[in-house]
Structure 1
Amino acid sequence: MAESTFTVKGMTCGHCVSSVTEEVSQISGVRQVDVDLPTGKVTITSDEPVAEDAVRAAVSEAGYELAG
């Protein structure tokens, strides 16, 4: 198992959290997605390390962007 943490900009409510969780969960090998709304931190537990490009694309699909 691998764990990765990213920061998402622009989330303001529970719907934002749901959208990001749904899109990131669709990345191959992702087992769990935990979103901390106040900090924007998204922690991904997966079978293998997740490529940042895949996370960036999923977050973008949800309507947000990664910080940095």
Structure 2
Amino acid sequence: MWIYTVQVDSMMCGMCESPVNDAVRKALPVKKVSSSRSKKETTVVSEAPVAEDVMRQAISATGYGVLPIQSASYARKGLFSFGK
């Protein structure tokens, strides 16, 4: 699994988070998307690597600025993640 942290500029309220999440879900095959206006970032979890340029375009199309994108390998943590 992969985790992406996208710095998003101009999210001001909770209503700003939803269009960003929806745009990423529609553009890419992801498992989880969550945005935080207070952290000014969107976190994306996917099974396989995703095209960062597609993610950048999808978020930009909502009217928000996309700053650096960081990616890393992601291992699930929890009770039922043995051997994964």
TM-score by length of 1: 0.87
In the other structure, the counterpart of 1:10 is 10
Q: Distance between the aligned counterparts of 1:67 and 1:4, measured in 2?
A: 12
* Count of aligned pairs between the two proteins: 68
Runs of 4+ in 1 over 3 A off after TM superposition: none
In the other structure, the counterpart of 2:53 is 53
- Correspondences of 1:29-40 after superposition (within 5 Å): 29-40=29-40
Normalized per residue, which structure has more helix? 1
Q: Which runs of 5 or more structure 2 residues have no equivalent in the other structure? A: 69-84
Q: Which runs of 5 or more structure 1 residues have no equivalent in the other structure? A: none
In the other structure, the counterpart of 2:76 is none
- Correspondences of 1:16-31 after superposition (within 5 Å): 16-31=16-31
Aligned residues with identical type, % of pairs: 35
Two-structure CA RMSD over aligned residues (Å):
1.2
